Amino acid sequence: MGCVSSKQFRRAPPHEDAALLAKETTFSLNEVEALYELFKKISYSIFKDGLIHKEEFQLALFRNSNRKNLFADRIFDLFDLKRNGVIEFEEFVRSLHIFHPDTPMADKIAFAFRLYDLRGTGSIEREELKEMVLAILNESDLLLSDDAVQQIVDQADLNSDGRIDPDEWKEFASKNPALLKNMTLPYLKDITMSFPSFVVYSGAGDEEL
Specify the range with the lowest mean pLDDT, choosing from 9-18, 137-146, 195-204.
195-204
Q: Is the pLDDT confidence value at 5 over 80?
A: no
Q: Which of 186, 155, 154 is nearest to 171 (CA)?
A: 155
Nearest by Cα to 69 from 10, 113, 24, 131 = 131
The pLDDT score that the predictor gives to residue 102 is 93
Residues 161-195 have pLDDT tens digits of 999 999 999 999 998 887 788 888 888 888 776 54
Q: Residue 128: what pLDDT?
A: 93
**Residue-wise pLDDT tens digits, 30-59:** 899 899 999 999 999 999 999 999 999 988
pTM of the predicted structure, to 2 decimals:
0.79
Predicted confidence at residue 43, as pLDDT, reads 94
More confident residue, 63 or 158: 158
Greater confidence (11 vs 65) lies with 65
Give the mean pLDDT of the chain. Answer: 83
Domains of the chain with CATH codes:
26-99 (1.10.238.10), 105-180 (1.10.238.10)
Give 105-114's long-range contacts (Cβ < 8 A, gap of 24+).
105/174, 105/180, 106/170, 108/180, 108/183, 108/184, 109/169, 109/170, 109/173, 109/174, 109/180, 110/166, 111/78, 111/183, 112/169, 112/173, 112/179, 112/180, 112/183, 113/166, 113/169, 113/170, 113/173, 114/78
Over residues 64-114, the pLDDT tens digits come to: 666 677 888 899 999 999 999 999 999 999 999 999 999 999 999 999 999
Q: Please give the average per-residue pLDDT across 132-141, as a whole number.
A: 78
User: Model confidence over 51-60: pLDDT tens digits?
Assistant: 999 999 988 8
**Residue 16: band (very low, low, confident or very high) from pLDDT cuts 50, 70, 90:** low
